[in-house]
Amino acid sequence: MDKNFLSNVYGSMFKGYPDIVTPAQAKEMLHVGKNKIYELLDSGKLPSYKVGKTYRIPKACVIEYMLEYAKTK
């Protein structure tokens, strides 16, 4: 995805969320259920990293996933 486009979108989407979100916050952002978020995380479709037992998801990855998903619909 074009970095300039992603940068512009990043600046305007999900302003109320921190740069690193939890699975619960990603669930709200994507309007999906808990099981779907963990399916996306476990499959690697939604890039993340773990701190202890907790997933941390860069907000940019949530936005990029959403934009890629929108392309397929």
CATH code of the domain in which 54 resides: 1.10.10
Digit-coded pLDDT (tens) for 6-56: 667 777 888 899 999 999 999 999 999 999 999 999 999 999 999 999 999
The amino acid sitting at 22 is T
pLDDT at 1: 61
Is residue 67 predicted with pLDDT exceeding 90?
Answer: no
Place of tokens 């959403």: 66
Query: What is the pLDDT at residue 52?
Result: 95
Rounded to the nearest 10 degrees, the angle between the axes of helix 59-72 and helix 23-30 is 30
Instruction: Give residue 30's domain range.
Output: 3-72
pLDDT value of position 13: 84
Number of domains in the chain: 1
For 32, the token pair is 């999906």
